[in-house]
Amino acid sequence: MLIIRPIRSSDFDALYQIAVESGHGFTSLPVNNELLQKKIARSEASFLKEVERPFDEGYLMVLEDTDTGDVVGTCALEAAVGMEDAFYHYRLGTEVYHSEQIHVRNEVETLTLCHDYTGAAELCTLFLRASYRRDNNGRMLSRSRFLFLAQHAARFGETVIAEMRGVSDESGHSPFYGWLQKHFLGIDFVEADYLSGLGQKAFMAEMMPRNPVYVCLLPEEAQKVIGEVHTNTRPAISLLQAEGFRCRGYVDIFDGGPTVECNLADIRSVRESRLLTVTIGEMPASDSCYILSNTKLADYRASSADLLVNDNDDKVILSPELAAGLLVSEGEQVRVLAM
């Protein structure tokens, strides 16, 4: 059985291996022992914390194959970004130049450094090991976060964002970053991305261009990838678009990848998820697959199963094994979402 649960300190080795496998551009999991240990500790504290309003909490979860005990994936949610560390984006805009005298009108795209998403919740750190990228496991892992958001909405910002990985090659070279390295930062993309993942962001404020950047003045290869996603990220952005996420003109400051957003209450899976009361017994046959989770916080569990769910009934039958995996008892509630 595949179960999603909060990360714990004993998962460090598995998280380190996932950080290695995730490769360049996966900023939220740098290959750094101290940082990964801090991420685990911060997540453990966040799951236990009483929250009056979202601040700097981070909820990191893992996908465990209970048959082998292996951790085979991760997913995470940030409660409110930019509350302690600056959270930078480029905002795409337009400047208009018009002259009646010479009868010329030009519209020029600009990139302006901003902190507009401060306080937004964030979907992040989604990774599934290659051997498990089948049978809708990736979809389950990604969408399970919407059940957590629906159940614990008060712990998150009203706007939910996701930063999509931009275009880069196998060695980590980003066409968008090339001009920034040459004229401003002076360090390569991999190093800048790594420092950002470590939370060492002072160099951004010190070295990034402070005035709007005219897109037409960038190299053509940089212009072409603004707002484009990495090949491996296309399935992820398609899934989010189906949930109602849209790009509002914000892109990553290093690789130019788009950031998408949606109001938490408007996310399709948040709206369509349902709370059902558990009966434990023999599960009736069904060909309808659901993601389901308990309603707990520190003991949060989620999985997927073929369930018989009736639109006119608020009950669902779970097998003893599935109920045990989800840490639910007879009469407790689960939140369900059609896959």
CB of 246 within 8 A of CB of 262?
yes
Tell me: pLDDT of 154 over 60: yes
**Residue 21 scores a pLDDT above 90:** no
Residue 208 has pLDDT above 80, yes or no: no
Q: What is the model's pLDDT at position 300?
A: 97
Q: Nearest 5 degrees, angle CA 203-CA 42-CA 77?
A: 85
pLDDT tens digits along 88-132: 899 999 988 888 888 888 889 999 989 999 999 999 988 888 889
pLDDT (0 to 100) of residue 32: 82
Helix and strand element counts for the chain (H, E):
10, 15
Beta-ladder partners of 125: none
Q: Is the per-residue pLDDT at 24 higher than 70?
A: no
Q: What angle do the packed helices 234-242 and 137-151 form, to 10 degrees?
A: 40
| Helix residue ranges per DSSP H, the chain | 12-22, 33-48, 137-151, 175-180, 189-197, 202-207, 220-224, 234-242, 268-272, 320-325
Q: Let me know the angle formed at the C-alpha of 138 by 134 and 140, rounded to the nearest 5 degrees.
A: 110
Among residues 24, 89, 152, 230, the one annotated as catalytic is 230
Compute the distance between CA of residue 320 and CA of residue 129 in angstroms, rounded to an integer: 28
How many CA atoms, within 13 angstroms, populate the side-chain half-sphere of residue 142? 20
What is the pLDDT, as a whole number, of residue 321? 94
Residue given tokens 């290093």 in the structure block: 254
Check residues 255 and 271 and name the one with the higher pLDDT.
Answer: 271
Whole-number pLDDT of residue 58: 95
Give the pLDDT band of residue 240 (cuts 50, 70, 90). Answer: very high
pLDDT at residue 206 greater than cutoff 80: no
Q: Give residue-wise pLDDT tens across range 285-306.
A: 888 999 999 999 999 999 999 9
3 state DSSP class of 317: strand
Lowest mean pLDDT among 52-66, 123-137, 203-217, 248-262: 203-217
Among 61, 60, 63, which Cα is nearest to 1's?
Answer: 63
Kind plus residue range of the DSSP H or E element containing 159? strand 159-163
Sign of CA dihedral 210, 211, 212, 214: negative
Q: What is the pLDDT of residue 66?
A: 93
| Segment 229-234 mean pLDDT | 84
pLDDT of residue 280: 94
Q: Which domains does the chain have, with CATH numbers?
A: 2-90+114-269 (3.40.630.30), 273-338 (2.40.40.20)
Asked if 230 is an active-site residue, the reply is yes
Question: Which tens digits make up the pLDDT trace of 185-202?
Answer: 777 666 766 666 655 566
Q: What is the pLDDT of residues 260-277, one digit of tens each?
A: 999 999 999 999 999 999
Rounded to whole angstroms, the maximal C-alpha distance in the chain is: 82
Provide the pLDDT for residue 194: 62
Dump pLDDT digits (tens) for 305-330: 999 888 888 999 999 999 999 999 99
Q: What is the pLDDT of residue 4?
A: 97
- 138 token code pair: 């990736």
Highest mean pLDDT among 25-34, 153-162, 180-189, 192-201: 153-162
**In 10 A of CB 217, how many CB atoms?**
10
pLDDT tens for 88-100 read 899 999 988 888 8
Question: Which pLDDT belongs to residue 198?
Answer: 56
